[in-house]
Amino acid sequence: MEENDSTTNVHPVSDSHYDTILEDEIHIPIDQVENIPKERHYLGKMDVICPSCSAYRWLDERLTKSTKKKSFFGMCCLQGKIKLPLLTPLPSAIKLLYEGKNSLARSFRKDIRSYNAANAFSSLGVSMDKRILKSRGLTSFTIHGQLSHQIGSLLPESDKSPSYSQLYIYDPHIALDCRQKRNLHLNPAILKIIQETLLESNELCKIYKGAYDVLKSANSNGGESIPIRLAYTPTTDPRRYNLPTSEDTAVIIPGDGTEPTSKRDIILHLKNNNLERISECHPLYLPSHYVLLFPTGDLGWSTDMKYWDVKNERYFTVTGKEKKNRLTQLQYFCYRLFERTTEYSALFRAGLLFQQFIVDAWASYEQNRLYWIRTHQADLRCDVYSGLTDIVTNGHNPNDIGKKFILPSTHLGSPRHMYEIYQDSMAITRYYKHPDIFMTVTANPKWPEIQNELKPGQAALDRPDLVARVFELKRKAIMHEIENRGLFGRVVAKVYTIEFQKRGLPHMHALFFLHPEDKIRTTDQVHRIVCAEFPDPIKHPALFETIKKCMVHGPCGTRNMESVCMENKVCRSRYPRENVNDTRIDVDGYPIYRRRKTGKSYHVRGHLVDNKDVVPYNPHLSEMFDCHINVEICASVRAVKYINKYIYKGHDRTTMVVGAEDDEIQQYLDARYVGPTEAAWRLYGFRIHEELPCVTRLALHLKGMHVCVFNPNDTPEQVKKKAENQKSSLTAYFDWYRKNPTTKAYTYQEFPEHFRWCKDNKKWTPRVTSAFSIGRMYFANPNSGERFYLRLLLTVVKGPSSFESLYSVDGIEHKTYREACIARGLLEDDNEWDKCLEEAVIMKTGHQVRRLFCLILTECNPSRPEILWEKNALKICDDLPYQLKTKFGIQDPSDSDVYDYGLFLMNDYLLESGKTFVYNTVADTLRSEGHIVIMVASSGIASLLLTGGRTAHSTFKIPFEVLDDSVCSVTKQTIHAELFKRAKLIIWDEVPMFCVEAVDRTLRDIREINEPFGRVTVVLGGDFKQTLPVITKETRQEIVRACLTKSHLWSGVRLLTLVKNMRLNSNDTENVKFADYLIEIGTNPKEDVELPSEIKRCKSTMDLLFKVYPNLNVEEVATETYLQEQSILSARNDDVATLNELAINQFPGELHEYLATDKAIEDDQPIENRGNSISNENMQALDPPSLPPFKLQLKVGCPIMFLRNLQPRDGLCNGTRLMVIQFATRVIEAKILNGSHAGNYVFIPRITLQPSVSETPF
Q: Sorting pLDDT into bands at 50, 70 and 90, what band is 671?
A: low
pLDDT at 487 over 80: yes
610 CB burial (10 A radius; 0-12, 13-18, 19+): buried
Rounded to a whole number, what is the largest CA-CA distance in the chain? 130
- Domain map (residue ranges) of the chain: 92-326, 532-615, 924-937+948-1052, 1096-1255
Contact status, residue 284 vs residue 249, Cβ threshold 8 Å = yes
Contact status, residue 851 vs residue 1180, Cβ threshold 8 Å:
no
* Contact between 1009 and 1020 (Cβ < 8 Å): no
pLDDT (tens digit per residue) in 761-775: 889 999 988 888 999
Contact 940, 950 (CB under 8 A): no
* pLDDT attached to residue 393: 39
What is the spatial distance between Cα 1153 and Cα 1157, in angstroms, rounded to a whole number?
Answer: 13
Least confident stretch, 62-71, 266-275, 811-820 = 266-275
Buried b (16+ CB within 10 A) or exposed e, 848-868: bbbbbbbbbbbbbebeeeeeb
What is the separation, in whole angstroms, between the first and last Cα of the chain?
A: 41
d(CA 611, CA 534): 6
The dihedral built from the CA positions of residue 58, 60, 66 and 72, taken in this order, carries a sign that is negative
Between CA 632 and CA 530 the distance in angstroms is: 7
Nearest-5° Cα angle at 508, 504 to 509: 130
pLDDT digits (tens, 9 = 90+) for 584-641: 866 555 688 999 999 999 999 989 999 999 999 999 999 999 999 999 998 554 545 5
Across the range 283-298, mean pLDDT stands at 89
How far are the Cα atoms of 82, 238, 683, 717 from residue 306, in angstroms, in the given order?
Answer: 8, 8, 18, 39
Please tell me which residue, 418 or 1240, carries the higher pLDDT value.
1240
Give the separation between CA 33 and CA 21, rounded to whole angstroms.
Answer: 26
Mean pLDDT within 653-678: 61
- Indicate the pLDDT class of residue 410, thresholds 50, 70 and 90: confident
Report the DSSP beta bridge partners of residue 306. 326
Element (H, E) at 1232: strand 1227-1232
Q: What is the pLDDT of residue 1054?
A: 81
Q: Are 1199 and 1232 spatial neighbours (Cβ–Cβ below 8 Å)? A: no
| DSSP code at position 554 | -
Bridge partners, 56 (sequence order): 49
State residue 479's pLDDT score: 96
HSE, side-chain direction, 13 A CA sphere, residue 1081: 16
In the predicted structure, residue 254 carries a pLDDT above the cut 80: no
Q: Which pLDDT score, from 0 to 100, does residue 13 have?
A: 33
Residue 941 in this model has a pLDDT that exceeds 70? no
pLDDT of residue 740: 92
Map 893-938 to HEC letters.
Answer: CCHHHHHHHHHHHHHHHHHHCCCCCCCCCCCHHHHCCCCEEEEEEC
pLDDT average, residue stretch 197-216: 79
How far is Cα 93 from Cα 812, in angstroms, rounded to an integer?
89
- The least confident of 35-39, 250-254, 1045-1049, 1211-1215 is 250-254
CA distance 1122 to 1118: 6
Are 1231 and 1241 in contact, with CB atoms under 8 Å apart? yes
Give me the chain's average pLDDT, please.
Answer: 77
CA distance 271 to 216: 10
For residue 390, the one-letter residue type is D
Model confidence at 1250: pLDDT above 80? no
The pLDDT score that the predictor gives to residue 143 is: 55
For residues 510 and 440, give the distance between their C-alpha atoms in angstroms, rounded to a whole number: 6
* Per-residue pLDDT, 502: 61
Distance of CA 951 to the CA centre of its chain: 39
CA distance 351 to 685: 22
- Distance, CA of 1242 to CA of 673 (rounded, Å): 65
- pLDDT per residue as tens digits for the range 898-916: 888 888 887 766 654 433 2
Average pLDDT over residues 1131-1145: 85
Residues 6+ apart with CB under 8 A from 808: 814, 820
pLDDT at 159: 62
How does residue 239 score in pLDDT terms, banded at 50, 70 and 90?
very low
Residue 328: DSSP 8-state:
P
